[in-house]
A = this chain, B = another copy of it.
């Protein structure tokens, strides 16, 4: 991980925005910029300094993982160590990550830095925006995670049978990914059969799968911290007209999005590529979520792809394309691939059959 280059890019961005110092508290941002993946710590980045404060549990680990940072052990409570941490930097303003810092944490920091003559300035998305452009190493890890979720869905397609419960299927899938190299899963495996498939984020339960019902399986693997996200809707038995109609509508919508999304579009324009197909087939009000979301260190990160997203899609971004139709009382269909935007167009990373 080239944290020196990431720090340089961040500094360019800070300079453009006239931010003299940024306090980084968001966990994925902390990891992205420093390589340190402990669960607690603060980065402080200025034009010429990169500091990392963490407590005794993580000091040794942080020293190993974040060699580009000057290490500081945060002892006792914030009121004691923060002034010392900031001492010598001669700051007048300190930017903080407003989307992740809690109001309470913000209030505490404000009370501490005000007497030091430092004003807190809320900022959003500075590091998140850097994170949207994946480098080759990041893309390689995402592809590895994608191949693990692809293999797990094919494994399930070949081994599932009437009589298995959603929970049994979910665990079988999880074991397959973990035993083939996935780190702890980025989110719980979703297996939603029959009526449960009408709930986009259903938790698997002891419901026994039957013939002639849709079965939505939504899974992700993780490699080196980077994740994949994949959904397939499977079916055991004889597909009826309703399933056929719903499935083909979702598939057409996804295909249209994959073929027509271009670099330079906004998230809402991209969303429209799929949503217009679903609308045209009369299911517009049954597709209640956005078309997709960025993937990387987080399952949901920038860019957002939905009806009101102004994020601009750019080459190097990795995200999902996942239209769905949900019919309470019947079930649902969702088809999701992880993709990357390359040379202005969508390249699908997942290879699992549809």
Q: Which residues of A contact B (CB under 8 A)?
A: 37-39, 55-58, 60-61, 76-77, 96, 98-107, 122, 124, 171, 175, 178-179, 184-185, 188, 198-203, 288-289, 307-308, 326, 328
Instruction: Determine chain A's interface SS by DSSP, over half rule.
Output: loop
The docked-state distance in angstroms from the alpha carbon of A203 to that of B38 is: 9
**Contacts A99-B104, A103-B98, A289-B57 hold; do A77 and B122 have CB atoms under 8 A apart?**
no
Q: List 21 A–B pairs whose Cβ atoms lie within 8 Å, in order of A's numbering.
A: A55-B288, A55-B289, A56-B200, A56-B288, A56-B289, A57-B201, A57-B288, A60-B198, A61-B199, A61-B201, A76-B308, A77-B308, A98-B102, A98-B104, A99-B104, A101-B102, A101-B103, A104-B122, A107-B122, A171-B178, A171-B179
Report chain B residues within 8 Å CB of A307: 76
Q: Do the beta carbons of A201 and B38 come within 8 Å of each other?
A: yes
**Closest B residue, CB atoms, query A99:** B104
The docked-state distance in angstroms from the alpha carbon of A161 to that of B77 is: 41
Q: Do the beta carbons of B201 and A58 come within 8 Å of each other?
A: yes
The docked-state distance in angstroms from the alpha carbon of A288 to that of B56 is: 6
CB distance from A24 to the nearest CB of B (A): 14
**Contacts A106-B103, A288-B57 hold; do A39 and B98 have CB atoms under 8 A apart?**
no
Report chain B residues within 8 Å CB of A184: 185, 188
Q: Do the beta carbons of A124 and B104 come within 8 Å of each other?
A: yes
Report chain B residues within 8 Å CB of A185: 184
Q: Do the beta carbons of A100 and B98 come within 8 Å of each other?
A: no
Report chain B residues within 8 Å CB of A107: 98, 122
